[in-house]
Amino acid sequence: MTRKGRRLALIGSSLAVVAVAIGLVLFAMRSNVTYFFSPAEIVEKNVAPGRACASAGWSSRDR
- Give the residue from 32, 28, 36, 31 showing the smallest Cα distance to 54: 36
Domain layout of the chain by residue ranges: 3-55
At 13-57, the pLDDT tens digits run 999 999 999 999 888 877 665 566 777 777 787 777 777 666 666
β-bridge partners, 54: 36
| pLDDT at site 4 | 95
- Checking 46-55 for CB contacts under 8 A at 24+ apart, the result is none
DSSP string, 1-63: --HHHHHHHHHHHHHHHHHHHHHHHHHHTTTT---EE-HHHHHHTTPPTT---EE-S---TT-
